[in-house]
A and B are shown apart, each in its own frame.
Chain A
Amino acid sequence: MSPTAWGWLILAFPLAGTLVIPLGWRVWPGRVAGYIGSLAILASFVCSVGAFITLHDRAPEARSVTSTLYDYTHTVGVNVGMSILIDPLSVFMALVVSGVSLLIHVYSVAYMDSDRGYTRFFAYMNFFVFSMLLLVLAANIVLLIVGWAFVGAASYLLISFWYRRATASAAGLKAFVMNVIGDVGLVIAAFILFKHTHSLSYAGIFGGAKETFSTNDGAIVAACLLLTVGAFAKSAQLPLHTWLPDAMEGPTPVSALIHAATMVTAGVYLIARFHVLYELAPTAADITAGLAAATLFFAATCALVVTDLKRIIAYSTMSQIGYMMLGVSTGGYDGGLFHLMTHAFFKALLFMAAGSVIAAMAGIQDINRMGGFRRAMPFTFITFTVGALALAGVPPLSGWFSKDSILGFDVHRGGYYLVLAIVGFAGALLTAFYSFRMVFRVFYGDPVPEAGSLERGELAHGEPVNPRTGEHEDTEVGFPGPEHHIAEREFSMKLAMGALALLAIGGGIVQIPGVTDWFDKFLEPVFANSKFVNDQPSTSAEWIGLVVGAGIALAGITTAFVMYLQRPGVTIALRDRFPRLHDFLEHRWYFDELYDALFVRPATTFGNFGRYVIESAFVQGTLVGGATGIVRAGAAIARGVQSGYLRAYALLLLAGVAALGLYFLLQAT
Chain B
Amino acid sequence: MNVNWYLVLSAFIFAIGAAGVMTRRNPLVILLCLELMLNAGNLALIAFSRMWGNGDGQVFALVVMVVAACEVVVGLGVIVAMYRRRLNIDVDELSELRG
List chain A positions with a Cβ less than 8 A from chain B.
638-647, 650-651, 654
Contact = CB atoms under 8 A, between A and B. Distances in A.
B98 A642 contact: yes
Contact of B22 (A638, A639, A641, A654): A654
Interface residues of B, number: 14
Interface in B44-99: 91-92, 94-99
A650 B92 contact: no
B85 to A, nearest CB: 17
A643 B22 contact: no
Contacts of A654: 18, 22
B21 interface: yes
B98 A647 contact: no
A142 to B, nearest CB: 65
A647 B21 contact: yes
A455 B22 CA distance: 105
Contact of B99 (A640, A646, A650, A651): A640
A651 B95 contact: no
Contact of A644 (B18, B22, B30, B98): B98
Contacts of B30: 646
18 contacts: A638-B99, A640-B99, A642-B97, A642-B98, A643-B98, A644-B94, A644-B98, A644-B99, A645-B91, A645-B92, A645-B95, A645-B98, A646-B30, A646-B91, A647-B92, A650-B21, A650-B22, A654-B18
Interface of A is mostly: helix
Nearest to B33: A650
Interface string B6-49: 00000000000010011101000010000000000000000000
A648 B55 CA distance: 37
Contacts of A639: 99
B67 to A, nearest CB: 16
Nearest to B97: A644
Contact of B95 (A638, A644, A650): A644
Contacts of B18: 654
A644 B96 contact: yes
Contacts of A641: 99
A654 B20 CA distance: 12
Contacts of B95: 643-646
A643 B91 CA distance: 12
Contacts, number: 36
Given A654-B18, A654-B22, A647 B91 contact: yes
Contacts of B92: 645-647
A638 B99 CA distance: 8
A643 B95 CA distance: 7
B76 to A, nearest CB: 16
A642 B96 CA distance: 10
A646 B98 contact: no
Contacts of B23: 647
A225 B97 CA distance: 76
Contacts of B99: 638-644
A651 B22 contact: yes
Given A644-B95, A647-B21, 18 more contacts: A638-B99, A639-B99, A642-B98, A642-B99, A643-B98, A644-B94, A644-B97, A644-B98, A644-B99, A645-B95, A646-B91, A646-B92, A646-B95, A647-B22, A647-B91, A650-B21, A651-B22, A654-B22
A654 B94 CA distance: 21
Nearest to B21: A650
A651 B21 CA distance: 9
B28 to A, nearest CB: 13
Contacts of A642: 97-99
A639 B97 CA distance: 11
A641 B99 CA distance: 8
A257 to B, nearest CB: 70
Contacts of A651: 22
A43 B99 CA distance: 78
Contacts of A640: 99
A645 B97 CA distance: 9
Nearest to A645: B95
Contacts of B25: 647
A579 B66 CA distance: 107
Contacts of B21: 647, 650
A227 to B, nearest CB: 70
B31 to A, nearest CB: 12
Nearest to B98: A644
A654 B22 CA distance: 9
Nearest to B30: A646
A366 B99 CA distance: 71
Contacts of B22: 647, 650-651, 654
A411 to B, nearest CB: 93
A644 B22 CA distance: 14
A629 to B, nearest CB: 19
A97 to B, nearest CB: 74
Nearest to A654: B18
Nearest to A639: B99
Nearest to A640: B99
B80 to A, nearest CB: 18
A258 to B, nearest CB: 67
A74 to B, nearest CB: 67
Nearest to A647: B22
A644 B94 CA distance: 7
A640 B95 CA distance: 13
Nearest to B94: A646
Contacts of A646: 30, 91-92, 94-95
Nearest to A643: B98
A639 to B, nearest CB: 4
Contacts of B97: 642, 644
Contacts of B98: 642-645
Contacts of A645: 91-92, 95, 98
Contacts of A647: 21-23, 25, 91-92
A645 B94 CA distance: 7
A643 B18 CA distance: 20
A325 to B, nearest CB: 76
Contacts of A644: 94-99
A654 to B, nearest CB: 6
A647 B96 CA distance: 14
